[in-house]
Chains A and B, each alone.
Chain A
Amino acid sequence: MDAATTRRRRLRGAAWAHAVLAIGVLIFFLPIWITLVGSTHDTATIGRGDVPLLPGGEAIANYTAAWNAGGGRYRSAPAGLMLGNSLLMAVLIAGGKIAISLISAYAVVFFRFPGRMLAFWTIFLTLMLPVEVRIIPTFQVMVDLSLVNTMAGLTIPLIASATATLLFRQFFLTIPDEYVEAAKIDGAGPLRFFRDVVLPLSVTNIAALFVILFIYGWNQYLWPLLIVNDRGLETIVVGLAKMIGSGDTQNEWNVIMATAVLALVPPVFVVVAMQRWFVKGLTETEK
């Protein structure tokens, strides 16, 4: 076989691979493109039923409407407000989960107290009880505590997290005993050791978890739908769904799509901004 044949074969292989990849990109990108384009036309254009593939000229009007006033059949809250609510909720959930998990994993790994393994397995068991399963008792508890329609009621039940505790536990187990002993000889107490050694070593893990948990919090649907009916606390994922009417009503698809695009921005920003840490936290251990 001469060199030219080999070259040609290799090129053909590469062309195939690229073709498959291009199709993949199209499949993933097309819906987003349609949404983007849809958010730049007026109601009538989209209402006609043909899907435009090129941007129109109504972008500013649509986004201003979505941001300031909301829209759709149900006259949703303004997107600006909903984005703020979602952002606060996602940050509180991610931050709360990380804080609680760090502390509980630290206790389970570095201390010997009676009931330690019981505590660990109890946390572990909650993995099998996601929000959806315990939603009725949780709702009852929130009602009894008068936390319905509050940010606390929205976030606290979602904060308890076994996943993050487990991840931190696994990471803490890789911290050599000798660090603990060196710290003991240096005279660092448990809190000091936590602050000066454990936390700095966990930074990449924390960042990676923050990304995952932020998206988790951002995408919450069922719980916010139940616990909040005050429109001032509505999150964007719930609000977006509520904007779409059923039956013979005319949906303002242009405003809905503009809101959808706005709803995409914060999670995308978080992923892009923390990507470096995210990958590092999942692949690298500092040792």
Chain B
Amino acid sequence: MATLTLTGVKKAFGATQVLHGVDLAVADGEMVVIVGASGCGKSTLLRIVAGLETPSEGQVRIDGRDVTPLEPADRDIAMVFQNYALYPHMTVFDNMAYGLKIRGLPKPEIRRRVEEGAALLGIQELLARKPRQLSGGQRQRVAMGRAIVREPKLFLFDEPLSNLDAKLRVQMRAEIRRLQKRLGVTSLFVTHDQVEAMTLGDRLVVMHQGHAVQVASPMEIWSRPANTYVAGFIGSPAMNFLPAVLVDGGGAARLAGGGAPIRFVDGPRAGGEGRAVTLGIRPEHLEVGGPDALPVVVDLVEPLGSESVLHGRLADDTALVARLPGAAALTEGMRLAIAPEALHVFDAATGARIDPAGG
């Protein structure tokens, strides 16, 4: 059991700065998910923790011990790779036992650990097989097993679910979470899938262009995104962004497309009259009708059974996506109202969240 601390981790490949100083503290037994679009530096960050890359600057500490100069093998970590990286010529047993064998553990101890790990994952019958005789899900389990038998201080997962089909992915996701909780091993999980991130993590690190933009619990990130990038990345379909200006001394906003001002129920925003802002509203927080509803031209309705996703445009051509319960009746012109308590306000220039002044 261990803690992981990153301080000011930077990485440059030649002239390209990939990480701009990442700080992160992972508590003992915590599962932290690093999420971001491809190229945001999330995999590099994980590889730095693993010791497969050296940071240009900054420190990695496991349990308070500085491991930055150490080799991967000396860091007491285990990693599950995207393609599993099972040695194709070794049996499942040998794959799981290889790291232990190199460490010079006695044979009976290796056998005991591998069998325990296999039992935990339900792969006892597969121990004599070669990786190519396994299905994707089974390989995934073996890769997990290889990590577990090492009894490491830290689990690292590098998009381990991305090669599985959708159904298996959901199943393995739950299984990884259950296992991690049961073993209580501090874990770092990298993914580009925001649903995976939301369901797996105790906390999320949202990365964007080499910065850790927001580090918080999934619900915190969902309900109070730090900026428009996080707001747009987490949640599906993505949040709608509407350009607006503050009116009424910051107590309300008027959309660029016109219409009645929308009053903030949680208090006025600083900056006063005329400040350019971006209003964020999630598709599920739009509803049909209401007194101040906005006229919407509907382009497309995607019926999903329990709900419908509606793609439309406002009067000034701003795209708007709404998630409405049931099978929404498609009408050319329809009026959608914004739930004011679910409104997010961001600065139009920087994209940073604006919270109520003094609230």
Chain A residues with CB under 8 Å of chain B are 176, 178-179, 181-182, 184-188, 192, 196-197, 200-201, 286-287
- Residue of A with least CB distance to B83: A178
Are A184 and B88 touching (Cβ within 8 A)? Answer: no
Give how many B residues have a beta carbon under 8 Å from the other chain's beta carbons.
23
A-contact bits for B62-88, CB 8 A (1 contact / 0 none): 000000000111100111011111011
Pick the 5 closest A-B CB pairs, nearest first: A187-B73, A178-B85, A186-B99, A182-B85, A200-B89
A-contact bits for B11-54, CB 8 A (1 contact / 0 none): 00000000000000000000000000000000000000011100
In the complex with contacts A178-B83, A186-B73, A286-B88 CB distance below 8 A: yes
In the complex with contacts A184-B52, A185-B50, A187-B99, A176-B73 CB distance below 8 A: no
- Interchain CA distance A32-B84 in the complex, whole Å: 54
B167 beta carbon closer than 8 Å to chain A: no
- Interchain CA distance A228-B339 in the complex, whole Å: 97
Are B81 and A178 touching (Cβ within 8 A)? Answer: yes
Q: B77, B78, B84, B102: which contacts A192 (Cβ < 8 A)?
A: B102
CB contacts (< 8 Å) of B78 on chain A: these are 185
- Interchain CA distance A287-B132 in the complex, whole Å: 7
Q: How far is the CB of A96 from chain B (nearest CB, A)?
A: 25
- Residue of B with least CB distance to A187: B73
- Residue of B with least CB distance to A182: B85
- Interchain CA distance A22-B78 in the complex, whole Å: 62
Are B52 and A176 touching (Cβ within 8 A)? Answer: no
* B:97-123 near A, CB below 8 Å: 98-99, 102-103
- Residue of B with least CB distance to A178: B85
A-B contact pairs, 17 of them (CB 8 A): A178-B82, A178-B84, A179-B87, A181-B72, A181-B85, A182-B79, A182-B85, A184-B51, A185-B73, A185-B79, A186-B99, A187-B99, A188-B98, A196-B87, A200-B89, A201-B89, A287-B88
CB contacts (< 8 Å) of A200 on chain B: these are 89
Are B88 and A201 touching (Cβ within 8 A)? Answer: yes
- Interchain CA distance A197-B131 in the complex, whole Å: 14
CB contacts (< 8 Å) of A184 on chain B: these are 51-52, 71-73
CB contacts (< 8 Å) of A196 on chain B: these are 87, 98
CB contacts (< 8 Å) of B89 on chain A: these are 197, 200-201, 286
- Residue of A with least CB distance to B78: A185
Q: How far is the CB of A51 from chain B (nearest CB, A)?
A: 53
- Residue of A with least CB distance to B86: A182
CB contacts (< 8 Å) of A187 on chain B: these are 71-74, 99, 102-103
Most chain B beta carbons < 10 A, residue from A186, A192, A287: A186
Are B102 and A186 touching (Cβ within 8 A)? Answer: yes
Q: How far is the CB of A111 from chain B (nearest CB, A)?
A: 15
CB contacts (< 8 Å) of B79 on chain A: these are 181-182, 185
CB contacts (< 8 Å) of A192 on chain B: these are 102
Q: How far is the CB of A232 from chain B (nearest CB, A)?
A: 43
- Residue of B with least CB distance to A199: B89
Are B102 and A188 touching (Cβ within 8 A)? Answer: yes
Are B83 and A176 touching (Cβ within 8 A)? Answer: yes
A-contact bits for B116-147, CB 8 A (1 contact / 0 none): 00000000000000001000000000000000
- Interchain CA distance A201-B86 in the complex, whole Å: 13
Most chain B beta carbons < 10 A, residue from A178, A192, A197, A287: A178
- Residue of B with least CB distance to A186: B99
Q: How far is the CB of B141 from chain A (nearest CB, A)?
A: 16
Q: How far is the CB of B15 from chain A (nearest CB, A)?
A: 19
CB contacts (< 8 Å) of B87 on chain A: these are 179, 182, 196-197
